[in-house]
Amino acid sequence: MIVLGYNGFTRGAEIFGRLFEATGVARNLLVGHDASAALVVDGELVAAVEEERLSRVKKTSDFPAHAIQWCLDFAGVPLDQVDVVAFPWRFSPEVADEMIAQVASGGQSPAEKFDVLRRAGEFYTDMVSREAIHDDFVQRTGHELDPNKLVLVPHHLAHLTCGAYLAGGGDAAFLVSDGRAETLSSVMGEVRDGVVRVFDDSTIPMTSSLGVAYGRITRYLGFVPNNDEYKVMGLAAYGPSPRRNPLLERCVRLHENGTYTISIPMGVTAYYALFDDLFDGDSEKREDFDFRVKVAAMAQHMVEAVTAHQVRALTAASGLDTLLFEGGLALNCVANTKMLERSSFTGMEVSFGASDPGVAIGAAVYTAGLRNRPADAATTPYLGPSYDEPHILEALEEYADRVEWQEEADVEAVTERTARLLSEKNVVAWFQGRTEYGPRALGNRSILANPAFPEIKDIINIRVKHREPFRPFAPVVLESEAPRVFDLGKKTSSPYMTFVFPVREEYRERIPGACHVDGTARVQTVDDRQNPVLARLLRAFTDRTGVPCLLNTSFNVAGEPIVCSPRDALECLLATEIDHLVIDRFVITKKSG
């Protein structure tokens, strides 16, 4: 059985921009962002890639034509041989009735209700109805898809299935929390013997979305909502946890069964006024670093308090030992660690596809009927394109007037050469094998550096990434070495940068470049099975320097997707102050002069 999962809408940006003013700084506040495709063949996830990596439009919501075609080409599967097409949104007639009822029971005037219904009707008819999704697929692929082969999977179920499958199956409690699904923003429950049970009395409606609330504060602080929330998380570490939090006092109410109500007005002018009142702010103060730190700390504290409230209720209702956490909120790695350590759960899993890239995988896996991975299967995020030597040489020849290169004999030689470069104050772009899936660079499309140099963070932020100087970087470390350097608490590994751990006191001065201001680090652990080439590089680097980890950040500059192809990598090298680029066995530098 061959199942193609995908996420994205041709007209999503146009419809949301026209009907809901989702343009400019609000451009990512729409259904279908993080467009992507995934392919399951005979029970195996064989390929997945985000559309942005191929189209080079960051966080695009467009129909993923390039991603779909690449997945099919990689597997050698023509579109007419695909048995089922799975889509991770299901605006069923029942959901439509619920949307209408919510508008009808609201407190607006009749004229305002009719306006909301008009816009909701156009959104439904032209974009998310089964007919619109089917027609979009046919028009963009040119393939006359049998309507019976289109399966619509509820959004939160797609999130959950992605996480459960990548965690290896097994019984687990789950929490899914994001900006919005069809009508809800968060659900919890448990998976037992492959059967999903949602705790219906603990669901959170879209009107009280924690993700949306955090996004509004993100915008208030001058960032892009549904895109820059990690910047708010990073800023929060510069200040202490607030003794009192007006967000929790005035905007959030916690109820039984882990539910809550968040009351923040919808309009930008209205919620800016509310936040100015809560935080004693104004347009001038919003530019002040200390003020932004104070607000960010309160936003982060709100997330931690609300999710802890949910986890307490989930623990009482389930009694299982393992927690699966998926959805956009699961990218808040600071909150993740606290959720686990302060709960009675003995284990917690957050997948590399936790945010919306994962729903293409989840829809495909669910529709294929996969409940568990084979026990000996290696979970890998390296599911995207790779490039053989002729492709690499073709790209190098194209840029031969601006770069020069040396080919090393084998993997051992290139890792030794790279370790030698990294032992000095060099910034090295590292390009190997298949592209990672999801928002984190996990060692195949990464920028690496030596964390022993305190100034290396500023060098990369300002001269390479072209981004804010307060942004931290993650260390990548051999899984066997991680407990010696970091306090992992209940975790034994963290392969996807989804948890934050304290750096042990004796190592803080040895790896200052990988320590955030609060003495923590968002760790990626690696072993020989997950990424043998990166593991070899780490051993060579540690043997040469005595430094137990490398600094790892995504191979891109601010505002651009992570690089995918050799040409992308060469363009990024030439546009920044990266010192060296390693593609496969080729070590590349810019020509002087």
Based on the domain organization, do 126 and 224 belong to the same domain? no
Decide if 104 is inside a domain. Answer: yes
- As a dihedral over the C-alpha atoms of residue 114, residue 118, residue 119, residue 120, rounded to 10 degrees, the angle is 90
**Residue finishing a domain among 136, 160, 184:** 160
Same domain, 428 and 548: yes
- Determine, yes or no, domain membership for 372: no
pLDDT at 373: 60
Region 156-182: mean pLDDT is: 95
Euclidean distance between CA atoms 265 and 246, whole angstroms: 15
Q: Is residue 361 part of a domain?
A: no
Cα distance between residue 593 and residue 124, in whole Å:
57
Q: Say if residue 176 is in the same domain as residue 147.
A: no
Query: Residue 446's domain is classified under what CATH number?
Result: 3.90.870.20
- Both ends of the chain: CA-CA distance in Å? 56
Is 335 found in the same domain as 424? no
Is the pLDDT score of 284 beyond 80?
Answer: yes
Q: Which residues contact 127 (CB under 8 A, 6 or more apart)?
A: 9, 11, 12, 15, 31
The CATH number of residue 27's host domain is: 3.30.420.40
Single out the residue of 230, 174, 188, 179 nearest to residue 207, CA to CA: 179
Instruction: Give per-residue pLDDT as tens, 302-355.
Output: 999 999 999 999 999 998 999 999 999 999 999 999 999 999 999 999 999 999
* pLDDT band, residue 379 (cuts 50/70/90): confident
pLDDT at 593: 65
pLDDT of residue 372: 59
Determine the Cα–Cα distance for residues 232 and 294; give it in Å rounded to an integer. Answer: 10
- Quick one: 104 and 233 in the same domain? no
Residues 129 and 209 in one domain: no
Instruction: Report the chain's C-alpha Rg in angstroms.
Output: 24
* pLDDT tens figures, 229-276: 999 999 999 988 899 999 999 999 999 999 999 999 989 999 999 999
Q: Are residues 478 and 566 in the same domain?
A: yes
Give the predicted TM-score (pTM) of the model: 0.96
Q: Are residues 412 and 515 in the same domain?
A: yes
HSE-CB at 521 with a 13 A cutoff on CA atoms is 31
Residue type present at position 533 = V
Domain for residue 358, yes or no?
no
Q: Which domain holds residue 435?
A: 389-590
Task: Look at residue 329 and tell me if it is in a domain.
Answer: yes
Q: Which amino acid is at 441?
A: A
One domain, residues 227 and 154? no
Say how many domains are in the chain. Answer: 3
Average pLDDT of the chain to the nearest whole number = 95
Q: Is 258 left (phi over 0), alpha (psi -120 to 50) or beta?
A: left
Same domain? 128 vs 184:
no
Does residue 480 fall inside a structural domain?
yes
Q: Which of 107, 130, 160 is the last residue of a domain?
A: 160
Distance, CA of 340 to CA of 404 (rounded, Å): 48
In a domain? residue 367? no
In terms of Cα–Cα distance, which of 421, 450, 466, 455 is closest to 579? 421
152 and 188 belong to one structural domain: no
Query: Is the pLDDT higher at 464 or at 384?
Result: 384
Instruction: Examine the fold and report which residue of 301, 323, 350 is the final residue of a domain before the chain moves on.
Output: 350
Domain assignment present for residue 322? The answer is: yes
Same domain? For 64 and 141 the reply is yes
C-alpha distances out from residue 441 to 280, 429, 540, 552, 553, Å: 38, 11, 21, 8, 6
Query: What's the rounded Cα separation, in Å, for the pair 143 and 75?
Result: 18
User: Confidence band (pLDDT; 50, 70, 90) for 413?
Assistant: very high
pLDDT band for position 488 (50/70/90)? very high
pLDDT at 224 over 80: yes
Tell me the pLDDT band of 462, cut-offs 50, 70 and 90. Answer: confident
